[in-house]
Structure 1
Amino acid sequence: MTTGSAPGTATLTRDPGGPRLALAGDWTLPHYEALQRRANELAGAVDAATVVDTTGLGAMDTSGAFVVAELLGSARTQSLAQDESLPPARRALLKTVGDAIDTYCKGIKRPRDAGFVVMLERIGRAMEGFWKQTLKLLAFIGITLQGFFTNALRPNRWRVTSLTSHIEQTGLDAVPILALLSFMVGCVVAFLGSTALAAYGASLFTVDLVGIAFLREFGVLLTSILLAGRTASAFTAQIGSMKAREEIDAIRTLGLDPIELLVLPRVLALLIALPLLTFIAMISGIVGGGVVCLLALNISPSMFLTMFQTDIPITHFYVGIAKAPPFAFMIAVIGCMEGFKVSGSAQSVGEHTTSAVVQSIFVVILLDATAALFYMEMGW
């Protein structure tokens, strides 16, 4: 055995008797990096038929023994530890390292949970995520309302240009698609009503069905769902792109408030646009129902309007239009909040845009159902 201070080496040769691996030099911690690189180079070339020559092996510590064990494998290291040509201390070190690899370097097989346990775990995680999302939404609503109250009496801080631009984008640009959609739904409701009521000889009441349905529910609901998909996603994508490009950090660096600059104009624009769009949706749906009544039931426009005025009280209109501002506020807040949650990648922008649409539609339907129950109990 040599006990020099030369760095450890591993030389693989092809002798007539088979491959031969010669270990020489000091296999110690100061030479660990070079030894590890050499072991990686020889990975796969050393097999069970390779003869290991340790006659030139110098000093060895735990790090060197670990590299040997990685190179030869645990079983071969255990066999090398039985070599009588090695000093007892060297054999004990190799055996200890080999045993440690067998004991502690094995992957832990996780016991498979029962399907019911996995289902409960997923339900719990979903409920926890829902609760955290609700808290974040409430916190963002509070921040938005604080911004409203802070700037309400400071007209010099109102951003009229931004507000006007967002009203055009969210309101005026949505009129054609909303009017067409409401008109078609009005036609469908009138067709269904005339078909169902014909069995009872009450086809004439299709006028009442169309009027009440669009004034109370369909007008505001169709408008809110359309804007949840069209406007909430746009708000999230716009703010999320700014977040990804670090423009929001730049706004804060300039001493400006992102809520005041980005959120309040969008929320105010939707608060103005959605009630107006709801009114347009009501009119379009009623016109669609009137067209079907004229073509299918021979109810003239004058008769349609007379029945509409006589049978349907104005309360239904108030009930429907009163839902528009809360729906608009929630859609705008959710869209802006999801934009601020974007982490910085294009994938994150897409994920939060989808999340904004889903959350907005869910909240709109939830609020609509709650309002319907409230109005029913109040007798409105």
Structure 2
Amino acid sequence: MTTTAQPGQLQLDPQSSPSLMRVSGDWTLAHFSSLESQVANVRHGGQPAELDFSDLGALDTAGAALLADVIGGARMGQLEQITHNLPAERLALLRAVGGAITQCRLDERKPPPGNAIVDILERIGIATIAVRGHVVGMLGFIGLTLQTLARTLLRPRRWRLTSLAAHMEQTGLDAVPIVALLTFMVGAVVAFLGATVLKKFGAAIYTVDLVGFAFLREFGVLLTAILLAGRTASAFTAQIGSMKANQEIDAIQAQGMDPVELLVLPRVLALLFTLPLLTFLAMMSGIFGGGVVCALSLDISPRMFLYMLQNDIAVQHFLVGIVKAPVFAFLIAVIGCLEGFRVSGSAQSVGEHTTSSVVQSIFVVILLDAVFALFFMEMGW
């Protein structure tokens, strides 16, 4: 074997049949760049049938890896037949490096073995980080909204009364039929179920108290907030998200206007005004539905129904219910607007964030309602 101090070379013997490739020079890491380009040319031109290593100089693992690439993984098992003048120790090196490369490529193709517990913990961690990001973002947006509100409140010229009136009509007046109808039907159902159960104990007359307590404290504000979470929060997200996708918000900022003042405050204030009014309507509609069922099923006259409501149910139950409405309204409006600003620019993103705003609003409403219920119960209200 002749050793040279020159970089390795690959030379195709044109007179040989089958095709013979002569390997000469040093195949070491020091000449890796030039060797790699030669191997790439050989790979494009097709693999030679045999290789002659009679003029091979120094060889290390880097050169062996390139030669293994020239030979090909499918022919590594036939090294003795396709190589000539290659000492046994270098043949073993070439076989070891080629086998390691082949195994590494097979391992990369195989998916890592799964572990159910690890996967579950990973999903929990990802979900926890996502929830944390949503909470931090929502708290920051609440602070930005309150800051903008405080800055605008003392400047009547910056009030956008036309936009406020338009949003009050959309969120309040247009929602009156669905809120009244739904709460009337739920009130009738609650009264019917209460009468069915209480009749067994001879206490059907207390169905009046059940309907009054349920709608003044919980159902009136809760059903209204859930309806507006699905109806209004989604509308806010879709409106602002479409503006974000069409780069209208960028245009607003380019003109020196504040998107929060222009788009968020009118929607938040409109819902703050309309949700308490809709809650009062829902309370009256639910009680009216319960009164209809009591009159038809229990022979409780409207006069008796109103008399029991007046004597058995204190005003504080109405206040407990109505005080939740502004809190729910503020959070529903903020979540709807925030998800609109999070839209990335495509129609799919608008749909995803609209769904997210509805889910988050309903979740927050129910969670806060439970917190309010526990607090008022502990306070004895």
TM-score (norm 1): 0.80
> How far off is 1:164 after superposition?
1.3
> How far off is 1:310 after superposition?
2.1
CA contact (8 A) 2:51 2:84 kept: no
CA contact (8 A) 2:188 2:292 kept: yes
Match of 2:309 in 1: 308
CA contact (8 A) 1:171 1:270 kept: yes
Q: Distance in 2 between matches of 1:161 and 1:93?
A: 83
What is the identity, as a one-letter code, of the residue corresponding to 2:344? S
> How far off is 1:136 after superposition?
1.3
Match of 1:221 in 2: 222
Match of 1:184 in 2: 185
Superposition pairs for residues 108-123 of structure 1, below 5 Å?
A: 108=108, 112=113, 114-123=115-124
Bigger shift: residues 161-170 or 319-328:
161-170
**Pair 1:312–1:110, CA change in 2 (3 A):** same
What is the identity, as a one-letter code, of the residue corresponding to 1:173? D
* Aligned mate of 2:49, from 49, 52, 61: 52
Q: Distance in 2 between matches of 1:361 and 1:110?
A: 39
Superposition pairs for residues 280-299 of structure 1, below 5 Å?
A: 280-299=281-300
Match of 2:107 in 1: 107
Match of 1:76 in 2: 75
What is the identity, as a one-letter code, of the residue corresponding to 2:246? R
What's the Cα RMSD here?
A: 3.8
> How far off is 1:104 after superposition?
4.2
**Pair 1:75–1:364, CA change in 2 (3 A):** same
> How far off is 1:68 after superposition?
8.2
What is the identity, as a one-letter code, of the residue corresponding to 1:316? H
Q: Distance in 1 between matches of 2:364 and 2:41?
A: 62
Match of 2:374 in 1: 373
Q: Distance in 2 between matches of 1:269 and 1:100?
A: 69
What is the identity, as a one-letter code, of the residue corresponding to 2:72? G
Does the residue aligned with 1:119 lie in a helix, a strand or coil? Answer: helix
Bigger shift: residues 285-294 or 299-308:
299-308
Segments of structure 2 that go 5 or more residues without pairing to the other structure are 1-9, 23-33, 53-60
Deviations, residues 263-303 of structure 1 (Å, cap 9, x unaligned): 11111111111111111111111111111011101112222
Deviations, residues 182-201 of structure 1 (Å, cap 9, x unaligned): 01000000001111111111
Bigger shift: residues 180-189 or 239-248:
239-248
Does the residue aligned with 2:49 lie in a helix, a strand or coil? Answer: strand
Match of 1:327 in 2: 328
TM-score (norm 2): 0.80
What is the identity, as a one-letter code, of the residue corresponding to 2:170? Q
CA contact (8 A) 1:171 1:274 kept: yes
Segments of structure 1 that go 5 or more residues without pairing to the other structure are 1-6, 56-61
> How far off is 1:312 after superposition?
1.5
**Pair 1:276–1:23, CA change in 2 (3 A):** farther
Q: Distance in 1 between matches of 2:374 and 2:214?
A: 15
> How far off is 1:145 after superposition?
0.7
Q: Distance in 2 between matches of 1:8 and 1:283?
A: 95
**Pair 1:134–1:21, CA change in 2 (3 A):** farther
Does the residue aligned with 1:145 lie in a helix, a strand or coil? Answer: helix
Bigger shift: residues 279-288 or 307-316:
307-316
